[in-house]
Structure 1
Amino acid sequence: MLTQDEARALAVRAQGFGLVYHEPVDVLRRLGAIQLDSVNAVARSHELTIFSRFGQYDVTALLDRIYADRCGFEYWGHSASWIDIADIALFQHRMARMRALGRGATTVNKQVRDEHADLYAEVLDRIDAEGPLTASDFAGVRPDGGWFNHKPVKRVLEDLYDQGVLMCAGRGKGFTRRYDRASQVLGTAAPDDPGSDEAAYRLVVRATARLGVATAKEVADYYRLQRWKAPWRDALTAAVTDGQVAETQVAGWCGTAYADPAALDGPLTPPEHRPAFLSPLDNLLWDRPRVKRVFGFEHTFEIYKKPERRRYGYYVLPLLAAGELGGRADLRYDRHASVLLVQGLWLEGATADAVGSALRCIADHLGADDISLTAPAGSVEADVIRRARSN
């Protein structure tokens, strides 16, 4: 049986903290999928997820590796995600289901096909002729002398993306998706679909390795296998039978837990890693009940709440230090002034050194010239900012 401390250490190790990476895209390879988000209060979530593990890096160079060098692709992983290109075959069944309006497809997919069937050929013809296009590129005159309506075209593009007919060739201004034929994005034809059973099996094994130790539903949720109605329970049973996943127990957890067999061989202690503020959408934080059970940390994401209903703030980043979640900061990067604004700070057991170091690291990554505490400050908060500025 694993102790709570050992389970927590396995979770942090499995998420790639404390490793030495050759390049930033290796973090994607380690995690399998990284959730995308357009909010840019500090930096975009996917950029922060890589930063918290790799440290400072050139974001433009990373995007080139993802898109131009085809190290990753965009699709529905956990949510809208970057996914390791090595796993693209495992998502072909999802695309096939979307084409057939099967499990995973929504009423929106059917509705757009019913209402805008005439747009599909026109959209594809323009992309074939002009190359990657954004939805806004379709504003203007249609070949028949009419006008493109931006909203229906965007829905058609998104449906073709869901089907795997189009893929994301990169991101334009304002994080807008640039669509192109899948064969152009991949540089080859899409791989064969291994089938729902095989895809579920391999994703279950990958998810377990990236969680360290988890409940069955947590394993399924990493790649949203339940949402896609994948046969994940049978896949998990088969993976245990084959020795690809190990059954275990964790003190204080109810029922069977599942772990990466190699991880159980140790070490079962937290990895050495630098203190880091995590994106609120970081893989480690995807499952809030799991975060509460494993780390004893109440993670909140209040961006969609009215200001008066927020407990902490708009964009609050939890702190990971010494294998523990403790402390958080409401941050915003003022790009015009080149200042990292600390709009709220809660130590919650974290040391001033750890918080100050993490603030300095993220400020350096952003290129901020200064760090400013805009929230009401006591002596502890002031000391943290002093340490951050002096690092």
Structure 2
Amino acid sequence: DGAASGPAPARAQDLTLRHRVEDYRAGDLERRYERLAIEEDSLVNYGFLPREHLALMHPREAARAWDDDTRRKAADILDFVRERGTVHPRDVERHFAHGRMTNDWGGTSNASSHLLDGMHYRGLLRVRRRESGTRIYEAVTHPLPVDDSPDGRARRAAALIDLVVRKYAPLPAASLTYLVRLLVGYGAPHLSEPARAGLTLARERLSSRRIDGTVWFWPADENPRSRRHAVDDRVRLLAPFDPVVWDRRRFELLWGWRYRFEAYTPPPERRFGHYALPLLWRDRVVGWANVLMCEGRLQPTLGYAGGAAPDGSAFRDALEEELQRMTRFLARR
């Protein structure tokens, strides 16, 4: 239904975690963030990851070096943050009045916020918490790597590749290459050379199989025939960026149709809707749903890749159960 519109039902991280954390509710991650051993940071994209993984990437060396003026401003902000303990971006702007700047998309943005983002990316700051979605920062010092020799960098790059493969496998060969490019583009630009070499080694040590002309890779210690991969009869409404559907190349290879995230597509040109959630039934994504909460009631708009819902009461019952779970997930604690 291309006319479906409206905000996302919840943040992408919440929609992802609801399938992996028992009794998870929208907003739980933000509410519990300060008590958990996790961080907001970049890996192959920006998001949340276990704190233990930061040592593989930090101190991070950005691909674009700061000039002397930017380094001076960052040092002044760092002193300010250390003195205050935690800061809201508006506090930094009020104190320093850095003004506006042209951003990477050609528009203008707050120069202080841009500097804070850069300091966070380089490991000078961490996100202590969020207030109404805004990052509240504090100073942090990442210890230097125990071994920063070429061999040490190679081991960290290999560990990062293993991390993303375990998260997104099974991967077509082209997707494996793409993920490593994202890894060195976002999470570890300073490890680009060992990561390229690590990709070659990964292709040799990962399990692989050629199927219908496509080579697939997955961790060597994973058995695709294991009982833990057995298919159940549940319906799951997935986030557009869930690891199951994030790789659009793999999506089309597995399920034979092309899904698009259309939040930034002009409404008249949408096929799926503003924030369509891929609909997984057993081991196949068979359609999508746009969902809204109105006066405590879930209002789903469904679409199917084959033009109609799967036949039978098993699907209808499983879909109803998933809509009930979604209603509970979106309800306030």
TM-score w.r.t. the length of structure 2 is 0.79
Q: Which residue of the other structure, out of 252, 259, 264, is the alignment partner of 2:223?
A: 264
Question: AA paired with 1:346?
Answer: G
Check conservation: 1:75, 1:82, Cα contact below 8 A: yes
Q: Which moved more, 1:209-218 or 1:319-328?
A: 209-218
Matched, 1:340 2:294: no
Q: Which residue of 1 aligns with 2:107?
A: none
**Alpha-carbon distance change, 330 to 205 in structure 1, aligned in 2, over 3 angstroms:** same
* SS in structure 1 at match of 2:57: helix
Q: Which moved more, 1:215-224 or 1:270-279?
A: 215-224
Q: Which residue of 1 aligns with 2:84?
A: 130
Q: Which residue of 1 aligns with 2:9?
A: 42
Q: Distance in 2 between matches of 1:207 and 1:294?
A: 20
Q: Which residue of 2 aligns with 1:316?
A: 276
Q: Which residue of 1 aligns with 2:207?
A: 246
Q: Which residue of 1 aligns with 2:130?
A: 171
* SS in structure 2 at match of 1:41: coil
**Alpha-carbon distance change, 360 to 216 in structure 1, aligned in 2, over 3 angstroms:** same
- Structure with the greater relative contact order (CA < 8 A, sep ≥ 6): 1 or 2? 2
Shift of 1:160: 0.8
Q: What do the CA deviations read for 1:285-315 (whole angstroms, capped 9, x no partner)?
A: 2221111012224211000011111112111
Q: Which residue of 2 aligns with 1:355?
A: 319
Q: Distance in 2 between matches of 1:114 and 1:283?
A: 40
What is the 5 A alignment of 1:60-99? 62-63=29-30, 65-69=32-36, 71-92=37-58, 95=60, 97-98=61-62
Shift of 1:225: 2.9
> Structure 1: 5+ residue runs without aligned partners?
1-38, 99-104, 369-391
> Structure 2: 5+ residue runs without aligned partners?
1-5, 101-109
Considering only aligned residues, what root-mean-square deviation do their CA atoms show, in Å? 2.9
Check conservation: 1:171, 1:177, Cα contact below 8 A: yes
* SS in structure 2 at match of 1:159: helix
What is the 5 A alignment of 1:202-213? 202-213=159-170
Q: Distance in 2 between matches of 1:153 and 1:330?
A: 36
How many residues are matched? 301
Q: Distance in 2 between matches of 1:127 and 1:141?
A: 11
Q: Which residue of the other structure, out of 157, 165, 171, is the alignment partner of 1:214?
A: 171
Q: Which residue of the other structure, out of 277, 295, 300, is the alignment partner of 2:255?
A: 295
Q: What do the CA deviations read for 1:151-181 (whole angstroms, capped 9, x no partner)?
A: 11111111111211112112111x1111111
**Alpha-carbon distance change, 353 to 80 in structure 1, aligned in 2, over 3 angstroms:** same
Question: AA paired with 1:76?
Answer: S
Q: Which residue of 2 aligns with 1:236?
A: 199
* Structure holding more helix per residue: 1
Q: Which residue of 2 aligns with 1:157?
A: 116
Q: Which moved more, 1:83-92 or 1:225-234?
A: 225-234
**Alpha-carbon distance change, 298 to 230 in structure 1, aligned in 2, over 3 angstroms:** farther
Shift of 1:240: 5.4
Check conservation: 1:297, 1:326, Cα contact below 8 A: no
Shift of 1:206: 2.5
